[in-house]
Amino acid sequence: RKYVYDFTEGNKDLKDLLGGKGANLAEMTNLGLPVPPGFTITTEACKVYLESGAEPAALRDEVSAHLDALEKRMGRTLGQHEDPLLVSVRSGAKFSMPGMMDTVLNIGLSDASVAGLAAQSGGDERFAWDSYRRLVQMFGKTVLGVDGDLFEEALEEAKRAKGADSDLGLDAADLRGLVERFKAIVAEQAGREFPQEPREQMDLAIRAVFDSWNTERAKLYRRQERIPGDLGTAVNVCSMVFGNLGPDSGTGVAFTRDPASGHQGVYGDYLQNAQGEDVVAGIRNTVPLADLEKIDKASYDELMKIMETLETHYRDLCDIEFTIERGHLWMLQTRVGKRTAAAAFRIATQLVDQGLIDEAEALQRVNGAQLAQLMFPRFEDSATAGAKFQRIGWGIAASPGAAVGKAVFDSYTAVKWSRSGERVILIRRETNPDDLNGMIAAEGILTSRGGKTSHAAVVARGMGKTCVCGAEELEVDTKRRRLTAPGGVVIEEGDLISIDGSSGKVYVGEVPVVPSPVVEYFEGRMHAGADEADELVQAVHRVMAYADRVRRLRVRANADNAEDASRARRFGAQGIGLCRTEHMFLGERRELVERLVLADTDAEREEALGALLPLQKADFVELFEAMDGLPVTVRLLDPPLHEFLPDITELSVRVALAEARKDENENDLRLLQAVHKLHEQNPMLGLRGVRLGLVIPGLFAMQVRAIAEAAAHRRSVKGDPRPEVMIPLVGTVQELEIVREEADAVIAEVEAATGTQLKLSIGTMIELPRAALTAGQIAEAAEFFSFGTNDLTQTVWGFSRDDVEASFFTAYLEKGIFGVSPFETIDADGVGSLVRAAAEAGRAVRPGLKLGVCGEHGGDPESVHFFHRTGLDYVSCSPFRIPVARLEAGRAAA
Ligand code: PEP
Ligand code: MG
């Protein structure tokens, strides 16, 4: 097995093996772009190391061979005293994990070779010593585990002693002193000297990168982003180029398009006379990339050409890290860049227009989670907000959204407060990887320093979290936990603030929110709004059309009133997949249900049912009207009856009090008896669903009659009702047969009485394991199946759907037993395989059997893909999830 690949050997499709960075460095090398030569150690080597605790035996020799080749090519030897080759050692996993893992620059410098580096750079002693102090600092911190603050303090101390306000104020002698100080810190803290031998430096750095895969922050990031824990990282060893060789050098980051809006143009930051992480860390103030044209036109022009090459080659937005060494441009990294949800939709359609991608590809460039994010409310028009609310700052719109919360100034407090149910905004001068916990806990992130590429911005965008960064007029005092705005406005910890990640504005207090333009669009209320919103709506409109053209799954709504049904229809629903009739029994009708439950005689029961019938019928008339011409699946009553009765404790107290007052109420006493009788230890496994229909005479018949009469009425007014009757919680075909027989009789009766052919179909939910296992038998009596994946998950796992999320799921998620709750995303291996088997068995018996799903999973992106693969006909979900389901159904089919 080969563990090391030269940059000339790899390509962009080898991300599993070479990591994202390594694969793309290879791709750029092969495109003939200026990449400093180097090689990549594979993720396989990392996996061996992580599993066994030692590097694979062959690795050392392979690295030696590649290092030899690199040295020959560069005409220099690693760390050689007179003319040293220096290298960087960088992590690079398959999925980008910004700032989570380690990097060490300037490997190869030592007490002896520092003079050689000075000679190489034309006698620049300051540069050489600055590079050396960076090596000792980075190596000390990341490889030897020394507390980074100790180096920072020593650096501050040196600056103070010199009266310098930045590190540029330190000269060669100062830096030489600092190197001595840093080496002493290493010796004290790490219990060993800083290694002078270059190969030892390199080997230790490689191992440190392997180890950094398993730091706490990296693990947390992976959990958050759902990146598998066993991928390991690759390691890139790359010959050093220097951006800190004077004003004709520098380093920068660039995007080929604006990652926030998708607009084409020149986006990025440049920092003159600086190295490596200086830009991303937001340590010194960068200039906009466009300024590079004035600083170094030749490099700027070349960069623009390269950016165009990359966009056309990758057919997508790319982000780039580059360095200019004395007027020579070098590409250090590229990758398909992260972007906001709005930008994703816009870029996808722009690329279609440019002819770079087709519609199917465009669908892969967006996803349902992004669409859902675009449907979140926003702050009301910022002009109005500005007039009514005090704006205290205006930073960079780094990651869109409207976030309101209490100000907190450290991650610990953010996590603590959010656990107790508070919404918080995390305010920092700048964030670093240690803030990850707090960023996850917060509604939004506000920083006073750093640009669009700062840590806060990049990570927040990745998480889809609102972020305003670089609000420079705000003074953040983390020690005193307060923020001071111009004009002396002070925000203390706990004060409410609002941040607008789309405009970058920061307000005191809670700014009200309004629906997003995307929701307005789905609602059919196209407003003549700002251009930005219009462009976005256009892009969403087009992408939805791509999805609708290719998708095979139909999308229906879970809705049980005309209002929801109409909204669902506007959102693109192709019918109702689940009308939960119990929702029609609430409110003032509860009393009628109470009468039904209390009925002692047939006459009493029939009277109660008789009172419910016209109400049910009126509900269905409205519903069928809202969904005219489209199927409406009406599910007969499902939940346990005690849900309609008073709480047992409350009622017992009421009766006891009345008894004490000698003021007993006959009705309460009967009610209490009934509540006792119906009380169940496990109501979800008790008298509900089809069991109710079998136990309470006339209940299901009444509901079926209401459906049939409503349909007949709609026909009489020239409507086109398409009701389907659905029986819940069936476990055996016998249950279904009994209910069916009764329902068929009722339907025939209504047909005869009204003189209409109703063509009502009768089907069942498959939501119990036994139903799934005997689906072949059940299909004999059912014209359709609708998978109730909520109950099916509950009963397959034996998890109470109402309790587990609050009790032990956190522990399960932390232990990695599952990455996401099976109530949220279908458990394909367990619950899913039952669905698949039942679908096959059902269709084998009744070809053309209609198959749908109406559990919560119907609106979950990953689950929608599973249902597509399983060959179902439709998914049904809540109205607001319909666009997401349409999009994902399209993505699954594209
Ligand atoms: C289900 O169980 O998946 C279902 C849709 O029914 P309910 O959620 O009403 O139990
Ligand atoms: Mg159910």
User: What's the rounded Cα separation, in Å, for the pair 272 and 55?
Assistant: 39
* pLDDT category of residue 384 using cuts at 50, 70 and 90: low
Please give the CATH architecture assigned to the domain spanning 551-640+680-893.
Alpha-Beta Barrel (3.20)
Query: Angle at which helices 602-626 and 562-570 pack, to 10 degrees?
Result: 30
ipTM above 0.95, yes or no: yes
Residue whose Cα lies nearest atom 5 of ligand 1: it is: 855
Q: How far apart are the first and last CA of the chain?
A: 36
Distance 765 CA to ligand 1 centre (A): 9
User: How far are the Cα atoms of 420, 621, 746, 754 from residue 708, in angstroms, in the given order?
Assistant: 50, 10, 8, 10
Closest by CA position to 116, among listed 105, 131, 104: 131
Distances (CA, A) of 573 to 292, 305, 564, 886: 51, 46, 11, 9
Active-site annotation holder among 46, 469, 579, 854: 854
Cβ of 558 closer than 6 Å to ligand 1, yes or no, is no
Q: Does the structure show a pLDDT above 90 at 454? A: no
Residues 6+ apart with CB under 8 A from 806: none
For residue 820, the one-letter residue type is: V
Residue 819 scores a pLDDT above 80:
no
pLDDT at residue 381, rounded to an integer: 66
250-336: CATH architecture = 2-Layer Sandwich (3.30)
Query: Does the CB atom of residue 560 touch ligand 1 within 6 A?
Result: no
- How far is Cα 165 from Cα 214, in angstroms, rounded to an integer? 37
Atom of ligand 1 nearest to the CA of 578: 5
Please, what is the average pLDDT of the chain? 92
Looking at the CA of 582, which ligand is closest? 1
821 to each of 220, 441, 499, 681, 824, how far by Cα in Å? Answer: 17, 19, 31, 25, 5
Question: Does any ligand 1 atom lie closer than 6 A to the CB of residue 822?
Answer: no
**Ranges 88-97, 381-390, 638-647, 773-782, most confident:** 773-782
- Looking at per-residue pLDDT, the higher value among 510 and 166 belongs to 510
Contact 386, 505 (CB under 8 A): yes
Distance CA 827, CA 821 (A): 9
CA of 793 from ligand 2 middle (Å) equals 10
Alpha carbon distance 742, 506 (integer Å): 64
Instruction: Read off the tokens for 794.
Output: 């509950």
Instruction: Specify the pairing of strand 444-447 against strand 466-469.
Output: parallel
Kindly state if the Cβ of 854 falls inside 6 Å of ligand 1: yes
Query: Is 425 within 8 Å of 446 (Cβ atoms)?
Result: yes
| Ligand 2 centroid – CA 789 distance (Å) | 7
pLDDT of 119: 93
Q: Ligand 1 pocket, 789 CB below 6 A?
A: yes
Order of strands across the sheet that contains 402-408: 391-394, 505-508, 496-500, 402-408, 424-428, 444-447, 466-469, 396-399
| Residue 481 among known ligand-binding residues | no
The label of the residue with tokens 């940059």 reads 7
- Please report, for residues 210, 247, 287, 314, the alpha-carbon distance to residue 300 in angstroms, rounded to integers and kept in the order given: 36, 15, 14, 21
Query: Residue of the nearest CA to atom 3 in ligand 1?
Result: 788
580 pocket-lining for ligand 1 (C-beta < 6 Å)? yes
Domain spans of the chain? 4-239, 250-336, 378-514, 551-640+680-893
Residues whose beta carbons lie less than 5 angstroms from ion ligand 2: 767, 788, 791
pLDDT in tens, 629-672: 999 999 999 988 878 888 888 889 988 888 888 888 888 888 88
Distance, in Å, from the CA atom of 790 to the CA atom of 416, rounded to the nearest integer, reads: 32
Mutate to test the pocket of ligand 1, among 767, 787, 823, 835 (most ligand atoms within 8 A of CB): 767
Strands annotated E in 660-803: 722-727, 761-766, 784-787
What average pLDDT does the segment 201-227 reach?
88
Domain 4-239: give its CATH architecture: 2-Layer Sandwich (3.30)
Nearest CA to ligand 1 atom 1: 788
Residue 680 marked as a ligand binder: no
The bound ligand whose nearest atom lies closest to the alpha carbon of 796 is 1
pLDDT for residue 386: 63
For atom 10 of ligand 1, which residue has the closest CA?
791
Q: Find the catalytic residue in 455, 642, 857, 868.
A: 455
Q: What is the CATH number of domain 378-514?
A: 3.50.30.10
Is 455 annotated as catalytic? yes
Average pLDDT (591-597) is 87
Ligand 2 centroid, distance to 788 Cα (angstroms): 5
- For residue range 352-374, what is the model confidence (pLDDT) as tens digits? 999 999 999 999 999 999 998 89
Task: Evaluate if residue 282 carries a pLDDT over 70.
Answer: no
DSSP-assigned states of every residue in 570-633 = HTT--SEEEEEGGGGG-GGGHHHHHHHHH--SHHHHHHHHHHHHHHHHHHHHHHHHHTTTSEEE
User: Is 140 in contact with 190 (CB distance < 8 Å)?
Assistant: yes
Query: What confidence category does residue 786 fall into, taking pLDDT thresholds of 50, 70 and 90?
Result: very high
Least confident of 231-235, 336-340, 617-621, 756-760: 336-340
164-178, 261-275, 482-496, 769-783: least confidently modelled range = 261-275
Record the pTM.
0.82
* Residue with the larger pLDDT of the pair 552 and 679: 552
Mean pLDDT in residue range 195-200: 97
Long-range contacts from 378-381, C-beta under 8 angstroms, 24+ separation: 378/402, 378/500, 378/502, 378/513, 378/514, 378/515, 378/516, 379/498, 379/500, 379/511, 379/512, 379/513, 379/514, 380/511, 380/512, 380/513, 380/514, 381/514
What backbone torsions phi and psi does residue 333 show, to the nearest 5 degrees?
A: -170, 150
Token pair 């007052």 is found at 661
- Indicate if the pLDDT at residue 280 is higher than 60: no
- Backbone angles phi and psi of 393, in degrees to 5: -165, 165
Contact 471, 486 (CB under 8 A): no
Q: Is 24 annotated as a binding residue?
A: no
Rounded average pLDDT over 11-30: 96
Going from the C-alpha of 339 to that of each of 317, 365, 478, 879, the distances in angstroms are: 8, 11, 30, 27
Is the pLDDT confidence value at 440 over 70? yes
Phi and psi, residue 692, nearest 5°: -60, -45
The rounded Å distance from CA 790 to ligand 2 centre is: 6
Q: Which ligand is nearest to the CA of 793?
A: 1
The finding on whether 796 has its CB within 6 A of some atom of ligand 1 is no
The CA distance from 838 to 785, in Å, is 9
Q: Is 278 in the pocket of ligand 1 (CB under 6 A)?
A: no
Cα distance between residue 4 and residue 17, in whole Å = 10
Q: 436 and 217 in contact (C-beta within 8 Å)?
A: yes
Q: What is the pLDDT of residues 688-735, one digit of tens each?
A: 999 999 999 999 999 999 999 999 999 999 999 999 999 999 999 999
Query: 225 CA to middle of ligand 1, Å?
Result: 29
Q: Is the pLDDT of residue 825 over 90?
A: yes
CA pair distance 605, 59, nearest whole angstrom = 82
* Residue 789 is assigned to a ligand binding site: yes
Q: Would the pLDDT of 106 be above 70? A: yes
Closest ligand 1 atom to the C-alpha of 582? 9
Which residue pairs from 50-56 have beta carbons closer than 8 angstroms and sit at least 24 positions apart in sequence? 50/210, 50/213, 50/214, 50/232, 55/206, 55/207, 55/210, 56/1, 56/3
Question: Does 790 contact ligand 1 (Cβ within 6 A)?
Answer: yes
Question: Mean of the pLDDT values across residues 595-606?
Answer: 90
